Amino acid sequence: MPTNKSVSKAPITQFVNCRILRDHKLQREDLWVREGRILDPEKLFFDEEGYADQRVDCEGLIIAPGFIDVQINGGYGIDFSQATSNVRGGVALVAKKILEHGVTSFLPTLVTSPPNIYHKVLSEVKVHSGGMEGAGVLGCHLEGPFISLEKKGAHPEQYLRSFQSGGMLDLIETYGTLDNVAMVTLAPELPNSEKVVRELSQRGITVSLGHSVANLSQAEEAVQNGASFITHLFNAMLPFHHRDPGIVGLLTSDQVPQDRTVFYGMIADGIHTNSAALRIAHRAHPTGLVLVTDAITAMGLPPGRHTLGQQVIEIQGLHAYVAGTKTLSGSIATMDMCVRHFKQASDLVLLDDAINVRATYIAGQEVWRK
C-alpha cells in the first residue's frame, strides 16, 4: 500500500484546532489536505513527521463536508429552464454566488419545459469541477416532463409528456441528449416507465420518483428496476395512508434490494414540509435524508415577480407562488451534505456554532470567506 509520502511531494495544508463533523459527531482533531485530498493522519505522522506547508486555524469553527444541492432551479435572476443567449454564463453566475452558502457542487435543475428548451440548455451545461470560479456542476437534474398530471404542482400542464413511444425514444425526442444529465425525476406509474428506469440506471443516471400518484408496489417495482431517489418527499405525491403509504412507504419498505439505499430529498424551509414530518422521515430512515433547496430564480432577490421555466412566479414574503394561484412553486433558501473520508475530495465548509457559513473550500483551496 502506498504511503502518503510516496504519493506526492505537493504542499500540505493542516487545519488545526478543529471540530470535525464525522460519523454524525463533532470530533476534536486536525485535518490534513494535499492536492485536494484528505490524508490519513497516522500515515502522515510516521512518513512525514507531521510536516505541513500551511496551517489554517479553525478555533471556534466546525469543519463539515461541502454542501451539495441536487435540486436548484436557479437563483440571482437566473432561471435554468430558460434558453437564454448565455446559458453557460447564467450557470456560472449561480455557481459563484452559492459559494457563500457553502455549496461546493450542484445539479442545475430544469422543470417541465418544451423540447426546444431542453435541446438548447442541455447542450450548453457541462459537468465540471469547482474552484475559485464557483461550485462544481455534477450534471443536470431533469424534473419532468414525465410526471403525473394530478401531482404536477407548479409544472405547466401543457408540456407534460408520457412514454407513448415506448420509453427511451420519448426521452431522446424530449431532451435531445442525456449527456451531462445526472438525475431524472419521473412518475413510476406511467405506462412503459419500467423500461426507462432500467435504461437510465444502466447509464449511470439517478432515477428519482416524484410528482406522482404511485402506490407503494409501483414505487417498489421502480426501485427494483434501479430507481434510488425520491424528489422532495411528501410534496407532489400521495399522502401517507396506513393501507397504502405510497412512495413515502419506501423509507421502511422490506422490498428494497439489500444492496441499495433509497435516498430522499426534503425541502426543510418549514413551509413545504412541517418540521415534525421531517423528523418522522429522518427517524424512519436517517441515512437516506438529503436536504435540498429547490431554490428558484428569486433566490437572492427582493420580493416581486420572477420566472420558473415558462411560468411567472410571485414572491410574497417567504412564499413563492405560480402567479394568479396558491400553488407553491419552490424555495428561496440554500443546503445539503455528503460525507467525505480519507483519500476523498476535500470539499469543505467552515461553520460557526450558529451554523453560519464562514468559509468554503473546494479541493482543499479556499474559494470564499466571510
pLDDT digits (tens, 9 = 90+) for 256-266: 999 999 999 99
For residue 308, pLDDT beyond 60: yes
pLDDT given at position 331: 46
For residue 142, pLDDT beyond 90: yes
| Alpha-carbon distances, residue 273 vs 67, 98, 143, 236, 308 (angstroms) | 20, 23, 19, 11, 20
Percentage with pLDDT > 90 across the chain: 73
Interval 82-133: pLDDT, tens: 999 999 999 999 999 999 999 999 999 999 999 999 999 999 999 999 999 9
What is the chain's Cα-based Rg? Answer: 21
Residues labelled as active-site residues: 294
The one-letter amino acid code at 186 reads L
pLDDT given at position 48: 53
Return mean pLDDT, the chain: 89
Q: Per DSSP, what are the bridge partners of residue 33?
A: 13, 38
Could you list the residues known to form a binding site for Zn(2+), using ranges: 143, 211, 232
For residue 333, pLDDT beyond 70: no
Q: What is the DSSP string of 74-111?
A: EETTEETTS--TTHHHHHHHHHHHGGGGTEEEEEEEEE
- Three-state SS for 52? coil
For residue 50, pLDDT beyond 70: no
- pTM here is 0.91
For residue 288, pLDDT beyond 50: yes
Averaged pLDDT, 175-189: 97
Could you list the residues known to form a binding site for substrate, using ranges: 154, 235-236, 243, 272, 328-330
Residues 6+ away with beta carbon under 8 Å from 249: 216, 219, 240
Could you list the residues known to form a binding site, using ranges: 143, 154, 211, 232, 235-236, 243, 272, 328-330
* b/e per residue 325-350 (b: at least 16 CB within 10 A): eeebbbbbbbbbbeebeeeebbbbbb
Averaged pLDDT, 210-230: 98
Averaged pLDDT, 200-206: 97
pLDDT given at position 126: 96
Is 78 in contact with 110 (CB distance < 8 Å)?
no
For residue 75, pLDDT beyond 60: yes
Is 297 in contact with 79 (CB distance < 8 Å)?
yes
pLDDT given at position 167: 87
Grid coordinates given for 107: 445539479
Report the alpha-carbon distance of residue 56 to residue 30 in Å, rounded. 10
- Three-state SS for 6? helix
Q: Which of 47, 42, 11 lies closest to 29 in space, CA to CA?
A: 42
Start-end of H helices in 50-181: 87-97, 115-122, 168-175
- What phi and psi values does residue 321 have, to the nearest 5 degrees? -125, 150
